[in-house]
């Protein structure tokens, strides 16, 4: 055997391993060839025996060589690469592909694959200005403050922070959430009612698993958040889509529903995506219907912090006297989606069940992240950041509305502009069939705009776009709208 040549890349044992493996694959070392002992090869190569032992052990583990008791070490009769090549050839002849449809999927998996997934598609990096909803503005995130609190927390890291935690979440954070929702949303609850989750999408999944069986009916607004619809459909729910207007759910349509509804999902404080606010009389009528129907209600309060006139509307949970409203909140729109921090405020009768499902799902949410957020809230930095974000987003909103008026005039109407981080843009003279063409024309100019169609059960009334502005600055907002107008001329 010729001495292996080393390429000076990496440790000595990896160089030796690569050299012998390459010789085996190139058939310089033939099957059944006897290799030198580790002692002899180490002496010839001028390296330690441990280095040779490590290389041989790696080759042995991967099947390139084999050790024969009392007889030495030999090149394996059949290398693993040959076996892989045979497997690929068999698959080719059988018409198989590693990317072909998987076998034996569960009903749940098939429903997930078949559900609407537009909200899960990644951003297109080729777009120069992207009106994608839900994307944060990186300039707004309080990176310095968050970094300092994280470093401080890690310096004080103790055994408890590294161990498993309570499924319901870090108690001081739950207590901070109780104080926050009491002050800002009029909700009365205790820390025992709060469950910290990995964002509102996990909250939806946990609640749906607790309450929905295949065939159960779930009432949803139309249009609505596709991520919620997907969570319910994945569990086999039948969706009862009820239209909304500027004041929320059409209660006359709700009262005409003939089937038993197990669960209702609503966004009453800022209907997603139209932006309407459910008026008090409808809230009371809706809660009366839910009580009479014995239906639980999910109240998704996804961005109530961003109101640009008046104070935030109190949650319908604060009106619930029967323990039927499950309130969902999130820090994604205030801080950053990647932190994956949200919460459920559950009726006492459901708390233990939801905690148990949370434990089965992922045991608990990252404890260090919860600890840092707790310090961020307690120090007052959360409130300061919220005020700054509200001011900056109000400026983006003004720039957007002014640019739309200048570029399109009365050929469009804008809905949901008084709150949140998006508007719904309707084209008065274009049918819904033209939405995809509008999106493609804008993309041709490097502008990302998004069809309203995936949010509807059925066809939208006319061409509409969901325009998120939270991730852009005022200059980008104006440039993007001008480019959209130019693309549509």
- ω into residue 273 within 30 of 0, thus cis? yes
- Structure confidence at residue 95 (pLDDT): 63
Question: Given a cut of 90, is residue 287 above it in pLDDT?
Answer: yes
Which of 409-436 are b and which e, b meaning 16 or more Cβ less than 10 Å from the residue's Cβ?
eeebebbbbbbbbbbbbbbeebebeebe
Alpha-carbon distance of 281 to 187, in angstroms, equals 19
481 pLDDT exceeds 90?
A: yes
Q: How far is CA 147 from the centre of its chain?
A: 23
pLDDT at 134: 80
Lookup result for tokens 């003004």: 398
pLDDT band at 90 (very low <50, low <70, confident <90, very high): low
Contacts of 298 (CB under 8 A, 6+ apart): 204, 207, 228, 263, 264, 265, 266, 325, 326, 328
More confident residue, 371 or 489: 371
218, two tokens: 């779930």
**pLDDT of 470 over the 60 cut:** yes
Residue found by looking up tokens 């089937």 in the block: 259
* Model confidence band, residue 242 (pLDDT cutoffs 50, 70, 90): very high
Rounded average pLDDT over 475-482 = 96
Quote the pLDDT of residue 335.
87
Burial class (CB in 10 A: 0-12, 13-18, 19+), 359: middle
pLDDT tens digits for 184-199?
888 999 999 999 999 9
Q: Which residues, 6+ apart, have CB-to-CB distance to 397 below 8 Å?
A: 308, 417, 423, 469
Q: Where do you find CATH 3.40.640.10 in the chain?
A: 146-380
DSSP string over 273-341: TT-----HHHHHHHHHHHHHHT-EEEEE-SSTT-BSSSPPPPPGGGG-SSS-EEEEEESTTTS-GGG--
Architecture of domain 146-380: 3-Layer(aba) Sandwich (3.40)
State yes or no: pLDDT of 1 exceeds 80.
Answer: no
The predicted structure's pLDDT at residue 93: 66
* pLDDT score for 486: 95
Name the H helices within 132-198.
Answer: 143-155, 159-162, 171-185
Q: What is the mean pLDDT of residues 294-303?
A: 94
Question: Is pLDDT of 412 > 70?
Answer: yes
Average of pLDDT values for 180-187? 90
CATH class, domain 1-100, is mainly alpha
Q: Give the pLDDT of residue 118.
A: 53
Q: What is the pLDDT of residue 100?
A: 61
Q: What angle do CA 416, 219, 353 make, to 5 degrees?
A: 110
What is the reported pLDDT for 70? 84
Q: Output the six-digit token pair for 391.
A: 């001011």
| Cβ proximity of 410 and 428 under 8 Å | yes
Band of residue 395 on the pLDDT scale cut at 50, 70, 90? very high
Model pTM score: 0.80
Lowest mean pLDDT among 58-62, 177-181, 433-437: 58-62
- CATH 1.10.10.10 occupies which residues in the chain? 1-100
> What is the predicted pLDDT for the residue at 25?
86
Flag whether pLDDT at 482 surpasses 70. Answer: yes
Q: How do residues 24-78 score in pLDDT, each as one tens digit?
A: 888 888 999 999 999 999 998 889 999 999 999 999 988 899 998 888 999 998 8
Q: Is 169 helix (H, G, I), strand (E, B) or coil?
A: coil
| Mean pLDDT value of segment 253-279 | 93
**What are the tokens at 198?**
């990995």
Beta strands in 339-462 (DSSP E): 342-345, 412-415, 422-427, 447-448, 450-451
Q: What mean pLDDT value characterizes the chain? A: 90
Which pLDDT score, from 0 to 100, does residue 449 have? 95
252, 245 Cβ separation under 8 angstroms: no
User: Model confidence at 310, in pLDDT bands (50, 70, 90)?
Assistant: low
CATH number of 120-136+384-488: 3.90.1150.10
Residues of the chain with CATH 3.90.1150.10: 120-136+384-488
pLDDT at position 203 over 90: yes
Give dist(CA 368, CA 373) in Å, integer: 9
State yes or no: pLDDT of 179 exceeds 80: yes
Where does 125-281 show beta strands of DSSP type E? 129-130, 194-197, 217-222, 238-245, 248-249, 263-266
Q: What's the pLDDT band for 302 if we cut at 50, 70, 90?
A: confident
- Cα angle 258-259-264, degrees, rounded to a multiple of 5: 110
Check whether 145 has a pLDDT greater than 70.
yes
Among residues 316, 269, 312, 267, the alpha carbon closest in space to that of 290 is found at 316
Q: pLDDT tens for residues 437-467?
A: 999 999 999 999 999 999 999 999 999 999 9
User: What gap in Å lies between CA 371 and CA 378, rounded to an integer?
Assistant: 11
């Amino acid at each position: 055997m010729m001495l292996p040549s080393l390429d000076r890349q990496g440790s000595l044992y990896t160089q030796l391993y690569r050299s012998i493996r390459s010789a085996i694959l190139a058939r310089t070392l033939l099957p059944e060839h006897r290799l030198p002992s580790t002692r002899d090869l180490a002496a010839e190569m001028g390296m330690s025996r441990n280095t040779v032992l490590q290389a041989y052990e790696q080759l042995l583990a991967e099947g390139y060589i084999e050790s024969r008791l009392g007889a030495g070490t030999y090149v394996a009769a059949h290398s693993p690469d040959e076996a892989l090549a045979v497997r690929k050839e068999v698959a080719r002849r059988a018409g198989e592909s590693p990317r072909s449809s998987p076998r034996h999927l569960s009903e749940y998996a098939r429903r997930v694959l078949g559900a609407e997934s537009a909200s899960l598609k990644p951003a297109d990096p080729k777009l120069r200005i992207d009106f994608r909803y839900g994307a944060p503005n990186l300039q707004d995130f309080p990176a310095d403050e968050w970094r300092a609190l994280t470093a401080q927390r890690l310096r004080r890291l103790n055994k408890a922070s590294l161990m498993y935690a309570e499924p319901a979440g870090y108690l001081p954070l739950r207590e901070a959430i109780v104080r926050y929702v009491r002050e800002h949303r009029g909700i009365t609850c205790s820390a025992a009612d709060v469950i910290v989750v990995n964002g509102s999408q996990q909250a939806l999944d946990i609640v749906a698993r607790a309450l929905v069986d295949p065939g159960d009916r779930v009432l949803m607004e139309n249009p609505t958040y596709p991520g919620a619809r997907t969570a319910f459909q994945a569990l086999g729910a039948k969706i009862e889509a009820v239209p909304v207007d500027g004041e929320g759910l059409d209660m006359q349509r709700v009262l005409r529903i003939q089937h038993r509804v197990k669960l209702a999902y609503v966004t009453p404080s800022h209907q997603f995506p139209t932006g309407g606010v459910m008026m008090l009389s409808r809230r009371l009528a809706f809660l009366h219907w839910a009580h009479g129907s014995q239906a639980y209600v999910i109240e998704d309060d996804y961005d109530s912090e961003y109101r640009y006139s008046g104070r935030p509307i109190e949650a319908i949970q604060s009106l619930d006297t029967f323990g039927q409203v499950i309130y969902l909140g999130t820090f994604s729109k205030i801080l950053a989606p990647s932190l994956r921090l949200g919460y459920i405020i559950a009726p006492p009768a459901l708390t233990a069940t939801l905690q148990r499902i949370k434990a089965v799902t992922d045991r608990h949410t990252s404890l260090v992240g919860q600890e840092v957020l707790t310090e961020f809230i307690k120090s007052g930095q959360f409130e300061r950041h919220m005020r700054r974000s509200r001011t900056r987003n109000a400026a983006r909103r003004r720039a957007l509305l002014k640019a739309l008026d200048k570029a399109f005039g009365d050929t469009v109407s804008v809905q949901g502009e008084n709150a949140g981080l998006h508007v719904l843009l309707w084209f008065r003279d274009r049918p819904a069939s033209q939405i995809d063409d509008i999106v493609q024309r804008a993309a041709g100019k490097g502008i990302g705009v998004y069809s309203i169609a995936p949010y509807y059960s059925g066809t939208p009334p006319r061409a509409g776009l969901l325009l998120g502005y939270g991730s852009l600055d005022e200059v980008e907002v104006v440039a993007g709208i001008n480019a959209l107008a130019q693309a549509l001329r």
